[in-house]
Every structure is written in structure tokens, then in C-alpha cells.
């Protein structure tokens, strides 16, 4: 199992920076292979998650405070390697972004693996 950990050392008034070795040791002790990506500036958590290749990991973890979590979520929804299949009644996510609401198109059954109507 391999996990991507997006780690914000600035969290908790920089206390997170001091416990990074403990967090790394925790994952090592339980036998989980981890790749730590340390954030370096505001918005970097979004960039890291947005650009991550989710196929290379079994999971992704946000390690930090509320700001880290918000950046993590924003990056997740901007990442093109994750997919959403519109199954809801109104599918607001797709409608607001002018994405196709066709399940077969979003699953790649119409010659594309994207819900983007421009393809």
C-alpha cells in the first residue's frame, strides 16, 4: 500500500514541523509506504493534490489544519485523474461546470474518458 501525504509544517503555529519525524515513523511502523509532499507556501496543498497522479497511490492524506484540508479538497476536485459519474437527480456539479451529464460519456463508453463536452 502506498499513501501520498500532503503535509503542512506550518500547521498549529509550526508545531506540525516538529512532529514530522513522529508522523513518518508512525506510517513506517505500521508498514505503509508513504510519499510525503511538504507544502512550502499558501496554495501549495492545492497544487500538490491537483497535479498528483492518483493511480500511483492507494490513498491520499491531508496532514495539517483546516487550511490544509481546504487546499486538499480544492486540489482533489481540480485533479483530472479522478472521475465522477453523474448519478444524482440534479447533478449540480456537472451542470455548473457545463459538463456532460451522460453516464456513458463520463465512463468512457462514448470514445472519451471525460465528461468535458469540449472533447
**Residues labelled catalytic:** 66
Chain-centroid distance of CA 57 in Å reads: 11
Chain-centroid distance of CA 117 in Å reads: 23
- Assess contact for 40 and 51: CB atoms under 8 A: no
- Assess contact for 36 and 7: CB atoms under 8 A: yes
| First-to-last C-alpha distance (Å) of the chain | 34
Amino acid at each position: 500500500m502506498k499513501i501520498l501525504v500532503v503535509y503542512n509544517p506550518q500547521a498549529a503555529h509550526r508545531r506540525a514541523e516538529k512532529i514530522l519525524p513522529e508522523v513518518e515513523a508512525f506510517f513506517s511502523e505500521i508498514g505503509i509506504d508513504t510519499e510525503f509532499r511538504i507544502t512550502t507556501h499558501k496554495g501549495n496543498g492545492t497544487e500538490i493534490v491537483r497535479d498528483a497522479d492518483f493511480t500511483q497511490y492507494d490513498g491520499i492524506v491531508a496532514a495539517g489544519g483546516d487550511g490544509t484540508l481546504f487546499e486538499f479538497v480544492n486540489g482533489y476536485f481540480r485533479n483530472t485523474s479522478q472521475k465522477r459519474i453523474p448519478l444524482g437527480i440534479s447533478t449540480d456539479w456537472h451542470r455548473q461546470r457545463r459538463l456532460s451529464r451522460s453516464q456513458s460519456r463520463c465512463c468512457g463508453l462514448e470514445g472519451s474518458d471525460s465528461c468535458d463536452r469540449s472533447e
